Every structure is written in structure tokens, then in C-alpha cells.
Structure 1
């Protein structure tokens, strides 16, 4: 059952007043195209430029096919051919104007950067920055796009491409499963024309790009946690050189901010203090095989990171 409430009546009341002027405007456009097209068709066939009166009677004669009364001597096919020609030109002009208007409105989006604001990221600007960053590209006239920077996207649907320089710091904030790997990491690894360092706590990017990167050169895999499930080809002992407690905490640091000397310095407070060992709480006793540093009858516990008192 159809509703008859006030909302339905109001909706119909808003539409009906626009139907009459809309219908009149449509007929005016059709008549204008037919009037101009018939005149053009008659002129092309050699009957001269003689437009008929722009009246309702002329419109009725065009609809009824009485074109010879409006354009004497012109064949009907010439009249209707001219109408089709004018109609095609009008549609083409409307399409071009609509696309130009759409592009103009899209470029004026409030709060977004324009092309002049991103000039350094356009193809010409990013190529100039690449030559400054890599002097080896100076003599190359046409650079490969992937040699200039990382692809970010298109400024407009029609371009140009925007790229970030290799010395730029880029932070991508994206939700889970929003395409960080498939949309950013994987395409950039596959586009890279030189060495790439990939660090990740998941194996998806490595698994997808490893075989393609092997076609360019050797792939080194450092996977101490075994998350990639692939044979290890690279090893690194992060504890190498840490033989004593003071070793990693007291590595010398060269200070160049206060003087030009290269005398090594240590980080303040990084070297632990040595305190005297307290006396043994047990009476002296003979040394045991497990305590090589202890001696029989020693009143104090021996010092040193690897020593142990046999009295404990």
C-alpha cells in the first residue's frame, strides 16, 4: 500500500513545478539545434544561408518533415544531415567543457597543495634533486624515473607523478591491512635499481620480493629468529668483543665538539666503580678445586669478575 503522508505529498509537490520549465527548455534546445543544423545543411548543399524564422511554427514544420517550406530547394537529407552534424559538435563541446570544468574544480580543492607547491616533487624537480644528490647522474640527459626517487602517486588523475627524494624521511601512517606492504614496501623493492636494505618483523615482503631481487644480485639473509624459514646466509655476533662487564659500558667515545684533539673519552658515569670486597663471614678454610683464585687461610674474598670465594 502506497503511503499518503505529508512527506510523500511534499516530495511530489517539489518535483512537479520543475517539470514544465524543464520540458520547455528541452524543446528550446532541440529546436535551436534543428534550426541551426537545417540552415547549415542547406548552405552546404549550395542553397545559401537563409535561416527560417525562429518561431513555434517553424519548429512544428521541422517535426512534421515540412523542411522544404523552411529551406526551399534544399533536400531533406541535407537538412537532417546538417542537424546531426550540429548535434554531434554540440555534444563534443559539452564533453570537453565538462572535463575542463571538472579538472579546474578538482585542482581548487581547499586545504590541498597545488602543483606549484609540490614543484620539487614533480618529474623536473625531482630529477634536479637526484643530480644534486648523485653527481654520477649529471651527464645523463634522460633519467629513469626510479633513479630519481620513490614513487608516491599522481597529483591528479592525469598526472604528473610525485616522487620523494632518496634523502627524504618518509612516515606512512596507515591502518592495519591498508596496504603498507602491497602498496608501498613491495613495489619499492621491486622498482629499486640498486642495493636495498629491508628490515621487518614479518616475512611477507621478504617472501614476495626475494626471488625477483635474486635476479639482480645476491640476497643476504640475516634471520636470527627464524621467521622467514629460509637458510641463513649472513651471521653477526652482536656480543662479539663483550668479554668483561666494563667492555661495552666503557667503550671510548671521541669528542670533537670541545677541541680539535682526538683524545679518546669515556661516557660519563658509564664505568662502574669497584668497591672493596667485604671480608669472609666464614672462618678460613682450605681452597676447593672449584675456586682457583682462593687460597687457604685468606681473610678476604678475592676480587675479579670471574672469581668465587670457597667459603660461600
Structure 2
């Protein structure tokens, strides 16, 4: 589709408009000038003005010249101002949706209406309990539901903590579990959260210095064989195997053994120290005897015997080496202390979920040896919350339980992460996962698992700096095509002409997503058109001064200094 317009015609129209405006300014100047420096000219009688001009008796007021200069300058500045205000601040029409396009789905009224229609809400529920202010577009807030899971792809130093995580933790209406490989999230949020409930840490390496710590026994609750196997799977599954040949296979075998050892220890009133002792000596008959003595199913006990006494000696040795790597952190008395609480002194998930309490799970760096233990604990809390939700009104926790899983592939590598994301919303559990790259998710959960995580997250955010262009191309295609106008000019004997045609092109390209400004992200939200949104850093929040004061208080309390 195209149209052709003569360039000469456009120039003539523009010149005519300029003459009309200038004539109008001249008349106003002359009329006002007549009041200051009278000439006797009839400025309101155009017929007589023309006659005087023809007879050479036309007179121009002296003050009118200065007035005309001032009016012309004011007109120029006014046009420039309107151009900036109405044109310069107008959202760029690049084919991506603007706020007006998303308001019917993500505006405040629409989000509240959807929540009230789909949720069983208490009478005293507030807007903050019901919907989440997520991002901005064209300076206006977009909202999502508390039941919406989110996955954030954020390279290092892309601002995920200060632009996203801090705000989510501070604004969460109910309990919060947050994982991190640094203590900055705790420093920015813990004192504030402590005003609403208890703020505690699970810090096996003591990187935070926070005084209110928890202890937790991996053995407690493993009287249930299913729970024992689930913990073993989460613990072993989070072990970083690097380029170890058949690493996943050895991890799966180690998980099966760990689950049975945890079950045996729980049945016998033992502790994690018994699990360590049995793992160091597969020849020890004690765990097998305990299982049989307590009437464990034959398949359960026989499987342990088969795994620990295989004829393939090298295989057993490799499994034992895998277990040794998992259990190595327990050689530290400090870590062991947190995992062997006195009876009835360990962390209680039921109590934690009763209020706006906060729990920070910390490791020292993304490759920390205690990361698998942290994963097992986080997975335990999640599964326990799932069960508790089914005892609450509407089959969901209220207010919502928020899980902020920073460095999820390393310190919160739930074995069935995609399933957790899809199932959690309906139970009043909101999961926000963070990973540094697409490759990091593939390395942890495999190709299919990584795709499933992206597919089951209600909301996906892609921050600037991601490197895999093939993946970004796929993401960009979701925005669809847009129509752009193409203008070309041709010249001939009859003058020049301009041709305007329409062509279809992608609304956004991969390199544009990669090169977004700091503080912006490319958003995919269910079946809403993908958009580039603005993130709100903590220093642009209304409560920024209180956040700064609370951060200084946390640093004084812990004797730690953060950036």
C-alpha cells in the first residue's frame, strides 16, 4: 500500500501557512503598537487600510516593530515547547504495546477485577493483599496477580536485586522465603520486614552475621519414606557435577541411598551424623537392619542393599564419592550445629507461615558446597507449604507465601521446578526464580526442563546483557510483526514526488533485547502482548529514606558493610 504526494505542493502549502501566521502576528503587533505610538491608522477597518496602502498614506506604528519581534519570539518558543511536551515525550511508536494497550489486562482496575473474580478473598483483604504492582510502562504502573509465578533471566550486574528482588520482598503481604549468594538482599530488607514479623536466616557459613538464626534437622520428618526420598532427591540433585561423565546417573543413585539413610535415621531416632557415618562405610549393616526392624517394604530395603553392595565395585566407589561431596560441608562443626537442633527446637514451617515472617537462605557464592543442603531445605519448605495450603480456606495460603529464589539453579534447584511453578499459584504460593542465563537452566534441569520452566512461568522477564542470540530471537518473535512506513523521494521533469509505502518487520529484534537500557526489561506475560517495561529501583520508591535507614541499622547489627 502506497501513496504519492508532490513535494512542490507540500512546500507551497507550508509557505502559505507561514505567510498567514506572519500576517496575523503583524496585524496584532500593529494594533497594539497603535495604542502606544498612535499613527491614526484604522487597524480594524481592512478596506480602508488597503486604500491607504494604495495611496501611499500607510503608516506603521514605531512600537509595533518591537512588539512583532517579541510576539515572533514567543511564538517560536511556544512551538518548540509544544513539540517537546507533545512530541518529545510521546511514546515511540515502534510496534510494541504501550500502556493504553496493556491497561485492559494489566491496569489496576482490570487486575483487581480478575483477582476478585477468581480468588476466595477474606472480607478484610486489601489491594496490596490482592494484586502486585510489577512494572511501569509510559510512567504508569502495570499490575499482576499474586498467583502469577515469575522467572527472571538476569546476567550478573543487570540490577536484579536492587531493581526487582528488594521491592518484591518489601511489598510481600505474607511470609517470604528468599535465597541469595550474598547478604545484600538481607541488608536492604530484613529490618523493615522485622517490623511485620520475625526475620531469620539459615546461614550455614555465617556470611551475614544476622543474630536471629534457625536450625533444621534434615532427618526430622523422614519417618515418612516419601518425604525421606524427596529430601534425598533434592539434596543430591542440586550437586554441581560440572563435566563429570554420567554425573546425573551417579546423582540419582546417591539420592536413592540418601533417602533411605535419612529414613533409617528418623526411624531409629538418629541425626544427620548417623547419615554421614553410614555414607562413609557402605559395609555398615546398621541402616539396613533398622529398615527391616521397622518393617520397611522389602523393595525399599533391598534397593539400599543393591546400591551399596553392587558387584561393580567401581560403580559403588563412584556413588560413594558423590555422597562424600554432598556430605563434605558437614565436616564443619559450625554447619553441623545448624543441622542438629535439640528436640523441638528446629525450624517449624507451620509457625513460619502463620504471619508476615521472613526467612533468608544464604550461601557464600554460587558454587558454595552447602548449596545442595540449602536446596534441600528450600524444597522441603515449599512442599510443606503445598500440603498446609490444602488445609486452608479455598485450598490456598492467605496472605500469599512469596518465594524469591535468587540463583535458583545453584541454591534452590527444586527437582521439579517447572511443576512447582505451574502448581504453586493455585495454592497461594508465589515463586519468583532468577537465573543468570538460559544455559544455566539447561545445565541444571536439562533442555526439556529449561523449556518447561520458561513455558510454565506466568511471567517472564529478560534483562539486558543476555548472550544467547538464538534464544533471544525466539523470544523476540513472540512480539510478532509490526507495520512501518517507508518514504522514498523521486525527481523528474515535473518536479519531485514522495512515495510512502508500508512494510512488515519484527516489532523487536534479538539485539534490541540484549542492548536494553539498565532498568528496563522485555516482558512476556501469559497471553498479553510482550512489551519493554520499566523496573522500579529501590531509590525511586516512596519509602527510600526508610530503606536507607533500615539498611544502615542492619549493617550496624551485623557489623557487615554492603555496597
- When normalised by structure 2's length, the TM-score is 0.31
State the alpha-carbon separation in 1 of the partners of residues 157 and 175 from structure 2.
27
Matched, 1:153 2:138: no
Tell me if the contact between 1:37 and 1:80 (Cα under 8 Å) persists in the aligned partners: no
- In the TM superposition, what is the alpha-carbon distance from 1:185 to its structure 2 partner? 0.7
Higher relative contact order (Cα pairs below 8 Å, separated by 6+ residues): 2
Candidates 23, 26, 29, aligned match of 1:41: 29
Tell me if the contact between 2:98 and 2:137 (Cα under 8 Å) persists in the aligned partners: no
Name 1:190's counterpart in structure 2. 170
* Partner SS for 1:135: coil
The 5 A counterparts of 1:1-312 are 35-44=23-32, 45=35, 47-48=43-44, 50=46, 72=59, 75-85=61-71, 87-97=73-83, 99-102=85-88, 106=92, 108-112=93-97, 115-132=100-117, 133=119, 135-136=121-122, 143=127, 146-156=128-138, 159-242=139-222, 248-249=228-229, 271-273=300-302
Tell me if the contact between 1:42 and 1:48 (Cα under 8 Å) persists in the aligned partners: no
- In the TM superposition, what is the alpha-carbon distance from 1:89 to its structure 2 partner? 3.7
State the alpha-carbon separation in 1 of the partners of residues 183 and 70 from structure 2.
62
Tell me if the contact between 1:40 and 1:49 (Cα under 8 Å) persists in the aligned partners: no
* Partner SS for 2:214: coil
State the alpha-carbon separation in 2 of the partners of residues 153 and 245 from structure 1.
44
Instruction: Name structure 1 gaps, 5 residues minimum.
Output: 1-26, 59-67, 252-267, 276-312
Instruction: Name structure 2 gaps, 5 residues minimum.
Output: 1-14, 36-41, 230-259, 264-296, 306-563
Tell me if the contact between 1:126 and 1:149 (Cα under 8 Å) persists in the aligned partners: yes
Q: Which structure has more helix as a fraction of its residues? A: 2
Task: Compare 180-189 and 119-128 and name the one that shifted more.
Answer: 119-128
State the alpha-carbon separation in 2 of the partners of residues 38 and 221 from structure 1.
76
- In the TM superposition, what is the alpha-carbon distance from 1:172 to its structure 2 partner? 1.2
- In the TM superposition, what is the alpha-carbon distance from 1:96 to its structure 2 partner? 2.3
Tell me if the contact between 1:223 and 1:232 (Cα under 8 Å) persists in the aligned partners: no
* Partner SS for 2:135: strand
* Partner SS for 1:222: strand
Tell me if the contact between 2:112 and 2:130 (Cα under 8 Å) persists in the aligned partners: yes
RMSD (Å), alpha carbons: 4.4
- CA 1:201–1:84: 2 relative to 1, 3 Å: same
State the alpha-carbon separation in 2 of the partners of residues 126 and 202 from structure 1.
34
State the alpha-carbon separation in 2 of the partners of residues 269 and 35 from structure 1.
103
- In the TM superposition, what is the alpha-carbon distance from 1:171 to its structure 2 partner? 1.3
